[in-house]
Structure 1
């Protein structure tokens, strides 16, 4: 028999042991090698390094664009913008609708490949919102992948399934984009050859090679094994029907999205097939750059190629309209859609359909992306001049200080909206109030600064959408408690760098002098824009300094007596008894701001590992999870939640964590548990045999345990000596006299002497019972622990408990098939072939005797951390150091 708890699931470097594996608490890891320190530093600062690298790319791209448009006048761009035919704008809107309609094919074909069925309206809704947000934000917390996880996760999809959907879409889009580019190179190589400087024949060969490779994949899927692989890792290709459907969707998507820009561009010598290839390359480079929405990267490619054969001012005008139509309009439409669905859901009440409920789940991220976009729009508006006729009208109505103040304040409010958008994505009620006030004020200021009707209408629509979705922003957490992560700093920096470039371009004919800062006139737009940009930069610097330098509310170290008392009081009213491990005092406690809930965690290397889900009322969990994640990030670490339950995965996804299946927990329904019938014959015979061997069972209350603690410690010492084992910690209790005496214990006696015991963990709700320490004397009969479990479950059933938790079977339930995710294949292989290190199969077989219901348990990890590296840290944490990992 092996441990009920999950310390064994990570101790893959230890021999199997009967009973619980042991460890030496308090051991420390050996000093890491220099290479380990370097790798640890790079891992801890990977997001920041990526953001800095992206910012460098962005600056270089904008410098290149400035060089390309050096001779272009801003007024010419505005004139070209106003001269755009209304028919071209209407056609661009129509092509945008077709493009977004075709995008649903990505999700639909991914679901077909996985063999999962979801109604098309729900797939189309999710796809539309995911792409509307992903196209605009294009980074971290607001990506389409997060939206898909929140939607599909609520339909019962496991994290691995959602990851496969996102991976399928990503790969399919990449292959489709390559195929469309290849078609353009084959059918119109001459138009592409001139700007790239390669002979048409070479481009034709490249295009033909790409198409040949794609055709080979299709043929292999049709006539071959349908699998591709490398070094023992293989993947199942989609069926030919799915591959053709996916490529057809990509072809429609790329062609129609390219047509959006094509109809807006001036006449050019580049044919449409060649333009599709150029467009595909620009999109691919924008995605690869990781710059939000590919801002600047996409424009640089288009200006560099199309600007050779068409007026650059008209190309810039077309690019501006393209961003508005293809990025802005769908985002506004998605916001209106989820808002209307939310209003209909409120009207429908409990009878709301799944589509209406899905809209509610998607609305925070959609409105967050719209708030982010409007914040950027306000900043860009602040560095561009208003129409002269509007300023003349305002000069007859308003005093100059009001106009100057409105211009400056609204620009700074734009930065505030970008910061607030992060809180909206996290469903903070404080962010909602801040957004309502900021957007409401911005509506008025947009009219006062330049009678910006379009801008004020867009802000008013955002204001109404926020009002309609108020109930979705229910997390009672402070907006100012959230730290900005590198991804959000990168987004803010992208907007500011772009605003600087726009300012320099718009006022390229204005010579800089210090007197500009002090010029206040209705007609002096350059000084006004310069002051607005300075205000944004100062505000951004202040925000960065406050976020980086403010002290963390988190802490590490052993808890105080007061904290332990508060935690024990909280767990008494909760259903899950595992939280009693807090009594061991070996984990740091993090309480929610209202001290109604807590997280117990430990640190190992760069991993901050929280044990189980938060403990306390469910409504206090979201804020507490974010508090823990940001505390870990502030210390340069990664947040980890160990052994979390599937119904809570959406909570961790909202916080930017990825979930990996650890194994399955065995839950016994005590209401139906007895020793009658053929199915329980083995348990019944084993129980009778134990009784004949002179064993007796007793469930002792805490006060009786305190009286027998010496006898229990004697059994524990014998067990440790017999197995040459050491005490473990973190996810299991050690034999601490105070810890053991504070709880009930199930004991087995033989001739009056205690020969085995298990500490019993329960809560006042009497919903679930479980055990922690399990130890027995060397001379105890082989059936002793089975006898203990049987009688303990019967005793708890008699006291009114509903379920009994036998603990987790590590790595159980992971699929090892070729189509399974990489983590599943690793875990399944260890489960099947790791008996030399740990009794995986034996542990599951023992628990299966009691005919439990198997429930999955997960590891939730922040950022892009590898689950293998994280589990290594958790193993060391549980084992009390590396010595505990390699030994018993």
Structure 2
């Protein structure tokens, strides 16, 4: 077996961090067992809102120090970039690195994209590559100071001796890096740049430690500053070697061990770590997402896609860069949804404990207790709906926009009755401000509430309220034992139940009102003259004539020279065939139609498209299923002569001998003739229901749009008829209805076809479409796709479909050329459901929408 060094290194990069984290947690298992949730509750309640706001500000200030990395980077490249852009780019890069990581590739990708217009890509990548090692030089310097006991942490090192080589290794990193760069000379990086980057790195790591000290001080601890910084340095080195973004897990455990040795209660340390992650990582990341929504506009992403440079430059960079690019291209839509989701989670955390404020105490003494409980239920309901509406905000639907306004009003009412809190008020106001600023981007009317989405929403609601009950009851159990202020267990259950009921009632009422006052219509009804003008002047296809049935709606191009015919069933829009009219407009017409369909929240399907147009629909994201094949007969070569057609010739001669005649009559038709046609049609149906959509049915207005071929016996009694279906193409003819009396002579279908072919040849037609043989050669083999086999069963066995058995065999006698017809359905959508919807439309059965 050949040794693959690259593969071994790749596997090692995945396994090594997992082993390190597992080892760190094994070393700290005793400390984890002693964690007290009760102490965490008490610590959280001790922090006033104004202090929490100051902690957030300190965290943001610490992150802002990393701005100087980019400032000195661009100065070393001697390029001028606006200060505002540098600040935003550095914030995005560093906040993404803290959460996403990818070994710094996340930040590298952001910098490359945003600085690309100002500096050549290769130079920029090289400069970023030389800057990257200096990002930990500050931690290396602090580690050396810790070993010199400036920031003491020997108690932790003596307790966990495996940390000694770690901190010593990190302490020696900076001098080794200096030695390496000086030996390479000025071709790598200038000494002044190393000094500046290292100073920024020192400020970054030191300011992060200061944030941790501020947090512990706000929680009431009296540990010295140097002690906190010393433990922070040891924990940071442990997080560094774990290679996990932000050192999640390893940093926290080592810091917990160190602060326990300093005499700080476990619950307070745990609370401090949660606040640290919030103010130094999560909130800056959210701000970074907001900045990226502004910076990564369509042109920026298009430029990167056209000229990618990150992928070839970094190992596995191509894959990671593409994933990151996909995220950045959608970040403008993602930002508001993420912030709303986080706001809902924040409300969850605020509603689970009684407010610890003088306002609440004042209101508690003067208002009925039930009113305070109702206020908290409203507040929790708002949080629940923030979470559930986040996906709809991502899709930019107007209904979700207006719902968020109402939900925020309920949140403000709840806050007014339970006491305003800076944090809770800020959460709601941020959502309101961002939604209002983004309102022009909400172009879709709604998303349909399908069964799948309903199940997902129910599951998310269950997790949200189930978690509220679980943790609320846990807080009650721990807090009630020592007098900590918590909600009683029965009130926790009441909050969850009432929030669920309020959310459901609000949603149902709002959707009802929204649908009442906002009823957008897709397309227009049949305008007979307008459709005729398009077909006669611009042409059509084999299905265009079905427009005159009147059972479909129409979407016209801006010029009015082409149209799409479609029907709606449930949450699906079923387009029939390819567009009719001017072929040059088809691509733009389809694009406009699909955009409007999706804006209204429907799922588009296209029934019976022609093979030559599949590439067009593929560009719009469709997959395809072969419905069957249409029999196309060449009139210029067809004849009943020869041994092969002896059966057809015999039928023709027999009908002529028996005095049966065939004539073609043109509209308008008399009432007497229509009555005769109806009698034949009713006998042929035998009490069965008519079909529709892609099949014609007996309708006097429809019949009057084209000629009809009629077969009569020697006594001039009508035996059968066939309705013409013009294709609105030169020399092309097809038929729709073909009906005859069940007790008529054998071979009447063939006789009518033969006589019609004679007529078509006389009139100069060169092509005749005999119609489709559904599922011809589809799903028959055991190796066929399972979807095709299921679809074949659906078509052939559902009771309201015609029986298609033998259709291809019957039409083969006319020696046709077979052309495929296809169903186009969206990727990640069910093919089986699409076929079921089409068959129900054909059988004139439409599904209703559940809460549209």
Query: Above 0.5 in TM-score?
Result: no
Which of the two has higher C-alpha Rg? 2
- Structure of higher RCO (CA pairs closer than 8 Å, 6+ residues apart): 1
TM-score w.r.t. length of structure 2: 0.43
